[in-house]
Amino acid sequence: MIRDDGRKAAAKVIPILEVAQRLGIGGMRRAGVERVGACPVCGGRDRFSINPARGVWNCRICDRGGDGLALAEHVLACNFQAALDFLVGKADVAPDPAEVARRKAAAKAAERQRRDYEARARARAIRDAREIWHAAKPGEGTAAEEYLAARGVRFPAWPPTLRFSASHPYMKHWPGRGVVEWFRGPCMIAGVQDAAGRVTAVHQTWVDARRPGSKLAITAPDGSLVDDKGKKWPAKLVRGSKKGGAVRLTPLGTSGVMIMGEGIETTASAIAAGIKPAAAFWAGVDLGNMAGRQVKLEGVRHSGQPDLGDTDAWLPPDGITQLVFIQDGDSDPKPTRAKLLSGIRRAAACRPGLRGWIVKAETGRDLNDMRMEQIENDRD
């Protein structure tokens, strides 16, 4: 057990950029409110970020993140005690009680400031999402319907959660210019609703009206179609607060069965294929949202065990007794399955009597790929 000498509190108030500097992390560039660069451990370029305002970091390749102490543990490959010693020195003498109290007070003040910042940023993002949502028009009869139809998806009744904007701004960060409007184009706008049914985020998919079924090729302010790693700019962006929310493609119904895929196209493909017509079909937006926070286990990147202290994580509504997660076959199977298991186990723990399953698409493909192949075979 680590003695409560106030060193932990002292470490937590060290600005995370100062921690990064002391660890020798350099070459970071501004990306909105964040700093982005190469991970000092895995070397992944532009997959490592630091948010100075929130005092946190994240590496999307290592799948690690946290505060300054966690950053020291990550870079130095050490335990918590060694990271604490690195940041504030070893506890060789009994600390002055007044100094311990000062450190704790400073840590509490820093935590309040961080929480206030997060609350303001979340509220601003939700306001932006709702403005986008209310400005969009019903999606039926638009390029949004043509996009999904060309991908083998036709709904028995068009979901009111899918809207459309004929000239929607693509807003994204650009180095040296901050968040700017790259261009405008036709976009399917999906409402992400929280447990109370309120829109808290929008999932935006820019579609190519000239090529039904295709997403729009995104053009950056400098005219490039790819980033410096040769990857296409994402045609899908989320604005708002998605955590705990979902895109409700069908009403809840009374069957007690819910089928959920990560994306709109995946979930909608299950509807179009006629799988369990009485079930509720909701899209989970992304795997992290479906999984919630997982318990951290030593030496295990994805434990598959839900951290039940994560009270903001997504849960199926009351009345759902059977939950089916669709696992895409075109993503890394081990972490994908662990995340889905975490979500299933969380739901089972919080909804007594609920049973859950994971249904996997064919390797290398998602359910929409399989749906489109089925349609082509039927035509032949």
Residues 211 and 267 in one domain: no
User: How large is the average pLDDT for residues 351-361?
Assistant: 94
Domain assignment of residue 121, yes or no: no
Q: Which residue from 219, 124, 221, 238 is spatially nearest to 180, judged by alpha carbons?
A: 221
User: How large is the average pLDDT for residues 214-233?
Assistant: 88
User: How large is the average pLDDT for residues 201-226?
Assistant: 93
User: How large is the average pLDDT for residues 290-306?
Assistant: 87
- Confidence check: pLDDT of 342 > 50: yes
Q: What is the pLDDT of residue 197?
A: 95
**CATH for 287:** 3.40.1360
User: How large is the average pLDDT for residues 60-71?
Assistant: 88
Q: Which residue from 289, 281, 294 is spatially nearest to 248, judged by alpha carbons?
A: 281
Beta bridge partners of 259: 281, 324
User: How large is the average pLDDT for residues 48-68?
Assistant: 86
DSSP reduced 3-state for 66: strand
- Final residue of a structural domain among 239, 264, 286: 239
Taking each helix axis from N to C terminus, what angle separates 264-272 and 367-379, rounded to the nearest 10 degrees?
40
Domain assignment of residue 131, yes or no: no
Domain assignment of residue 118, yes or no: no
Q: What is the pLDDT of residue 146?
A: 95
Residues 99 and 51 in one domain: yes
Domain assignment of residue 119, yes or no: no
Residues 33 and 81 in one domain: yes
Residues 227 and 255 in one domain: no
Percent of the chain with pLDDT over 90: 55
- Final residue of a structural domain among 215, 239, 263: 239
Using CB atoms within 10 Å of the CB of residue 374, give its burial: 0 to 12 exposed, 13 to 18 middle, 19+ buried.
middle
User: How large is the average pLDDT for residues 337-362?
Assistant: 94
Residues 252 and 313 in one domain: yes
Sheet containing 280-283: give its strands across. 247-248, 280-283, 257-261, 322-327, 355-360
Residues 261 and 173 in one domain: no
Residues 223 and 143 in one domain: yes
Q: What is the pLDDT of residue 313?
A: 92
**CATH for 82:** 3.90.580.10
pLDDT-based confidence at residue 357 (cuts at 50, 70, 90):
very high
User: How large is the average pLDDT for residues 269-279?
Assistant: 90
Residues 193 and 249 in one domain: no
Measured between alpha carbons, how far is residue 262 from residues 39, 289, 299 in Å? 27, 9, 27
Q: What is the pTM of this model?
A: 0.81
**Cα dihedral sign for 87, 89, 90, 93?**
negative
- Confidence check: pLDDT of 178 > 90: no
CB 152 within 8 A of CB 267: no
Domain assignment of residue 372, yes or no: yes
Q: What is the pLDDT of residue 306?
A: 93
Q: What is the pLDDT of residue 5?
A: 61
DSSP reduced 3-state for 305: coil
Domain assignment of residue 380, yes or no: yes
User: How large is the average pLDDT for residues 97-125?
Assistant: 80
Comparing 34-48, 95-109, 166-180, 324-338, the range with the smallest average pLDDT is 95-109
Q: What is the pLDDT of residue 227?
A: 80
Q: Which residue from 237, 268, 274, 257 is spatially nearest to 367, judged by alpha carbons?
A: 268
Q: What is the pLDDT of residue 2?
A: 47
CB atoms within 10 A of CB 379: 6
User: How large is the average pLDDT for residues 131-157?
Assistant: 95
Residues 247 and 356 in one domain: yes
Residues 316 and 275 in one domain: yes
CB 283 within 8 A of CB 190: yes
Domain that holds residue 63: 7-104
User: How large is the average pLDDT for residues 304-320?
Assistant: 93
Domain assignment of residue 179, yes or no: yes
**Number of domains within the chain:** 3
Indicate the average pLDDT of the chain.
Answer: 88
- Final residue of a structural domain among 80, 104, 128: 104
User: How large is the average pLDDT for residues 271-285?
Assistant: 92
DSSP string across 175-232? TTTEEEEEEEEEEEEEEEE-TTS-EEEEEEEEB-TTSTT-BPPP--TTS-SB-TTSPB
Give the integer Cα–Cα distance in Å for 126 and 302: 29
Taking each helix axis from N to C terminus, what angle separates 80-88 and 68-76, rounded to the nearest 10 degrees?
110
